[in-house]
Amino acid sequence: MDEINEIYEKLGGVISKDDFTSKVEEKVEQMSGLCDTKTAAMLVAHDLGVSDTGGEQQINKVSDITPNSGNVKLIAKIMTVFPAKEFNRNDGTIGRVANLIVADDTGSIRLTLWDERADLVKNGQIEIGQNYQIAGYVKEGYSGVEVNIGNNGVFCETDEKVEARIESKQIKDITNGMGDINLRARVLDISDIRTFNKRDGGTGRVANLLIGDETGKIRVTLWDELTDFTQQIEVDDSVEILNAYARENNFNQQVEMQVGNRGTIKRTEQEVEFKESFTPISDIIPGESYSITGQVSGLGELREFTRDDGTENMVSNIYVSDDTGRIRIALWGDHATLVEEVDIDTDIEIIDAYSKSGFNDEIELSAGNRTRINIL
């Protein structure tokens, strides 16, 4: 028994003595009598981050964890808690899994809890802001490096203080294919929630946000339950997004962010600066999205038409001028009625309109459902 106590002391208090004893008994049972109690204790200690030679594993920092780190031991703060899920194993049993985002003073990482550990999430025992001692094994997960905690790992709350830091990217640095994106931004526009039919016959939901920081702006797509967030925020609120990914929109080839079931978005009290960037009309070229400001210098007529799918739509045209030139704006859908609300010399902003070659190869802007228009 003294040898078992000696092994336990090497754990540094990351687990209670009762829990350690229980795990040793479970290990003996799992080995079907092929190992004695001391050997089982050494195996459990190894699972908890202590080698069988008696050398204790040092505390790892998040920034030092790589796919080849193997077993790691860290102390971190809970930053995000995702819902627990059940799945069917090949042997017919039901497994449970839950994901967290944890952080220390060097960065953040995904934590995956399995079975009994995942039940802690399901039962509401894990809360954002708690500090935990963690020992688990590292692997390359769906969205990057993650630490996995099984029933033989360590996951226990600690009173030790943790200064958490989540590396936040700037919008200008986001590129196609990038994953595990964390950032803070200001909400510029909020779309309605739309429903669609999934391939499995179910119904999905999707909504979009336009967000910006001091380096630019980007469109964000929210899926399913996360679309409810659009009902909780307003334009000019600041938000924090964790674990999003970026991909190119097939229609306009612009990079957008996606927040799915492995990501999260929430309001933050931290103010984010944003200033719209307006392009001189003379600098507009086809195939890009632009924002311009100027005065209305021409008005067309409102025209209704029927689409190929039988739905009704509207279109009208206005001209806008600034100090560098003049351009035609095609107003589609609800924007089309603007032609009846403005006069010549009305000051106006056209934000996020798409440029293309129009009649006689003259460049024009198309204002669709992603365009915002402000009458000044």
Mean of all residue pLDDT scores within the chain: 86
The pLDDT of residue 231: 94
Higher pLDDT, 48 or 69: 69
The pLDDT of residue 263: 80
pLDDT digits (tens, 9 = 90+) for 88-117: 888 888 889 998 989 999 888 889 998 888
Least confident window among 121-130, 138-147, 188-197, 332-341:
138-147
Confidence of residue 172 (pLDDT cuts 50, 70, 90): very high
Higher pLDDT, 367 or 42: 367
Question: Taking residues 6-31, what's their average pLDDT?
Answer: 75
The pLDDT of residue 24: 82
The pLDDT of residue 52: 45
Question: Taking residues 239-258, what's their average pLDDT?
Answer: 87
Read off the amino acid at residue 101: I
The pLDDT of residue 322: 96
Sketch out the chain's domains with CATH numbers.
2-47 (no CATH), 62-157 (2.40.50.140), 171-267 (2.40.50.140), 281-375 (2.40.50.140)
Question: Taking residues 123-140, what's their average pLDDT?
Answer: 88
pLDDT digits (tens, 9 = 90+) for 270-300: 899 999 999 999 999 998 889 999 999 999 9
- What is this structure's pTM? 0.64
Residue 79 has pLDDT above 80, yes or no: yes
Q: What whole-number percentage of the chain has pLDDT above 90?
A: 45
Question: Taking residues 306-314, what's their average pLDDT?
Answer: 89
The pLDDT of residue 93: 87
